Structure 1
């Protein structure tokens, strides 16, 4: 309705709705370039000249920004760390899992069979009954059995590489030597050393058996073969790996392979210019008794301390006779003289599986397989060996799985047993739990056992930038230690002064 006397109003036209333009993306700021801030400010200002106050405020803001982003500024450092941790968190999120580490690539030299399976054949033939030695000569490779031996790591490494391919992880065997990180020489050096038995072979009529076997000749022939290989000559063998676990293995040619990475049990019979922790890897012995399959506990272990082995040894092993005299009449302690035999291993299995602690004194060299027999038995090792080096000390804290006792204290009457009796049951259980966590490192039959760790350590040695003379677990000086210089890294370690030597002796005792 409209009012009388007034013309009606025309209806308003509907407004035309024009959709707004899409928002332009915000300008990208380069916080390190002040020109971008000035350009943004210029676009935001009206066309008239800006006031001096506004320009002053803008200059102050820029100065503050530069102060915060200065490389020496703590705030900038925190910002960088925050961004880095954010990136690391994003890369490690389930949506983007981290790539697995590259495998250790091993090229295994294709040695003539006499250096591998041939050694096993000769060993078997030397101990075969009369008339059966020739049968061992024609036995297929897959039917050959490496003899039970504390130095059988050479067999486990060889068989493990035979089954691996170029795509395996964490260790891969490559067919092209140009792809290799390391070159393995699979000579059975420890078995070769004992092919000839102490007693004359019963099958000496066979033309090829142990009576004609010469370990020294085999070592010489091996080096002659290697020195014809281009990859050996390329770096003088520095990227090659030999296993010589027996203390006397490869003794004839050890000076000619001292540049290579040696896999050894210890350095007891090696000079410092032949082997050292700079360039070599300590291996665990193969345990000779059955692993304990039960759980942790002390109820089934009535014996306090157990030892079974040769009482009379040379050099550092003389401590054994002293320990026998002190311990053989102690209550709940079993200490027996025993030689290697099947029955001795059965008795040792029973003794270790029923004891809380197992004694590991030094032998002819600082280490022996008895330590690893104890570990797979969940029997806490008591190590009386001042110069021992242990395998994989960068990943295993041996102070959590064993007890170290200095020789000078261990031979004091009553010291060892009184110390062990003060260890309560809960502490023994803690030792056993820790042993179970690392037990696989001492069982060569475990697919994730020591073989993978050996190759990881060998590769680490190859790229090691400097010398680390002591293990992680036992930061103690070695009396009289002359740490070697090794030309591969150009290291030079001066002999210790007499005063330093005396200080080391006091600390070690």
Structure 2
């Protein structure tokens, strides 16, 4: 597969929101920057658009959000102007209406950034962390869900199941009905440890001591807790209805996680206890270790890491539109 990235002039007034990236990706939305860096160093990028399967729109939603000239309120206008510019300057967008184009965004505002660019929203491939398909902007199967991963440079810690004393763990602010229901149901339980606020101690201490780690939807479904749980060898318990899980076209999530509906919160402990009693937990934990490499970014792409998983998602979605030469 070959990808053509639209070039830009180094003197472009908004060059800061386009490649290259000089600093190391950091923060909660680093997946967007890691992808861009990895693509730069991969064999997928081509300077010849005639051999490209897909065309990359390289603007950074996070950079636009923090640019004082743009901010959240003007991202939609910027994206619309950008698409109009490349459609006038190059023939590729107009050949397909943008169906062989894609962008990558991890911040939740990325979903709303396309409201003034209806062809991007309806036609282009949106590779995003915010993948709730009951909210406007995300089109399941056309778009792709990627994980929100906090940058880590160390190998995942090794903590065997026998050393994990807590049945389940959750901590986070009360910013959704799902979280409120979860905490109200289990706040006084001794096996499912839930905290209605941020911990004063490092999350890692609880993650590495727990068998199951709960991912409960907040304002958005895209939070880094799934990646955190996998990194620390904790089986994810996912409470987020109507949510496309990352790499859903590639990975069998039932083999290494448990997905609950919010209505299942009262029976959660019985289900998790049975998973431990039956030995199913050991199988889930073993598979968590197997998939950890799919949820890690590297400065240089490594086989089967997050970059290659995203690339395979794109390969599955490459345009089948016939283009007349």
Question: Into which bin does the TM-score normalised by the smaller protein fall?
Answer: 0.7 to 0.9
1:335-386 deviation line (CA, Å, top 9, x unaligned): 22345xxx86x62111111111111122233443212211121111111222
CA distance, structure 2, for counterparts of residue 385 and residue 432 of structure 1: 21
Q: Which has the larger radius of gyration?
A: 1
Describe the SS at the equivalent of 1:227.
helix
What is the root-mean-square deviation of aligned Cα atoms in Å?
A: 2.9
Partner SS for 2:109 = coil
Compared CA separation, residues 324 and 375, structure 1 to 2 (3 A): same
Corresponding residue for residue 98 of structure 2: 237
SS in 2 for 1:107: strand
> Is contact 2:168–2:210 with CA below 8 Å preserved after alignment?
yes
CA shift in 2, pair 1:144/1:406, >3 Å: closer
How far is 1:270 from its partner? 4.4
* Residues in 2 aligned to 1:251 and 1:361: alpha-carbon distance in whole angstroms: 27
Task: Give matches, 1:472-483, under 5 Å.
Answer: none
Contact kept? 2:133, 2:244, Cα under 8 Å: no
* Unaligned 5+ runs, structure 2: none
Question: What's the counterpart of residue 438 of structure 1?
Answer: 291
| Aligned position for 2:166 | 303
1:427 aligns with 2:325: no
After TM superposition, the structure 1 = structure 2 runs for residues 262-341 of structure 1, keeping only pairs within 5 Å, are 262-265=126-129, 266-268=131-133, 270-271=135-136, 274-287=137-150, 293-295=156-158, 297-313=160-176, 318-338=177-197
CA distance in 1, matches of 2:48, 2:291: 34
1:116 shift after superposition: 7.6
Q: Once the two structures are superposed, what CA deviation does each residue of 1:443-483 show, in whole Å capped at 9, x if it has no partner? A: 1226221212212221221256xxxxxxxxxxxxxxxxxxx
Alignment counterpart, residue 118 of structure 1, candidates 1, 10, 16: 16
Structure with the bigger RCO (C-alpha within 8 Å, sep 6+) is 2
Corresponding residue number in structure 1 for 2:313: 457
Report the counterpart of residue 391 of structure 1 in structure 2: 246
Q: Hey, which of these two has a bigger chunk of strand by percent? A: 2
Shift of 1:296: 5.4
Tell me which residue corresponds to 1:163.
Answer: 41
SS of 2:2's equivalent in the other structure is strand
Please state if 1:218 is matched with 2:97.
no
When the two structures are superposed, what TM-score results if normalisation uses the length of structure 2?
0.84
Provide the residue aligned with 2:270 in structure 1. Answer: 418
Aligned-partner Cα distance in 1 for 2:152–2:274? 28
Distance 1:460 1:211 in 2: 37
